[in-house]
Homo-oligomer: A and B are copies of this chain.
Amino acid sequence: MTEKEIIFRLATRADLPSIVRMLADDELGSQRERFENPLPESYYSAFEQINQDSNHELIVAERNGEVIGTLHLMFLPSISFQGRLRAQVESVRIDKRFQSQGIGSEMMKWVMERATQRGAHAVQLTTHKSRVDAHRFYERLGFEGSHLGMKMSLK
């Protein structure tokens, strides 16, 4: 293993503070997360639900023993497309100290390989309309911005 090699593995409970720190570390995230010590229990119960469901993979990217990125890969069974599985990526974050080093690209390539391994016919994600750099990044990887992503908050 070279010094710079990135390892992708399933997150453990012990990784949750690193994950929440990265989720909270941008303008949108800082308004909706609570990166506190100890972490609010709700993060741990969500982790348990994800961890016991084989269609969910909460992933950390690690380099030199340090967590530098995270993503949540999910496999969605579906009737459409002749009943084929689809993959969806959510909550992609890279530690701000290590951005613009090609880590995001390695993470997404890992996602494509993993999704292919699991038999998914497609990978989907949504990204905020304002994140024009992200759109270009995903387009370079082969994603097509074909859809409008719509959300509604519930009371």
Q: Which residues from chain A sit less than 8 Å from chain B, CB to CB?
A: 16, 19-20, 23, 29, 32-34, 40, 42-47, 49-50, 53, 55-56, 58, 72, 74, 76-85, 87, 90-91, 112, 115-116, 120-129, 135, 138-139, 141-155
Residue of B nearest to A47 (CB): B79
Interface of chain A, main secondary structure: mixed
As for how many copies of this chain the complex holds, the number is: 2
Contact partner of A32 (CB less than 8 A), chosen from B16, B45, B81, is B81
Which chain B residues lie closer than 8 Å to A33 at the CB level?
80-82
Contacts A82-B33, A91-B79; A135 near B148 (Cβ below 8 A) = yes
Which chain B residues lie closer than 8 Å to A44 at the CB level?
83
A149 adjacent to B121 (CB under 8 Å):
no
Residue of B nearest to A24 (CB): B80
Contacts A55-B53, A124-B126, A126-B126; A80 near B32 (Cβ below 8 A) = yes
Contact partner of A122 (CB less than 8 A), chosen from B40, B50, B138, B151, is B151
Contact partner of A121 (CB less than 8 A), chosen from B85, B87, B153, is B153
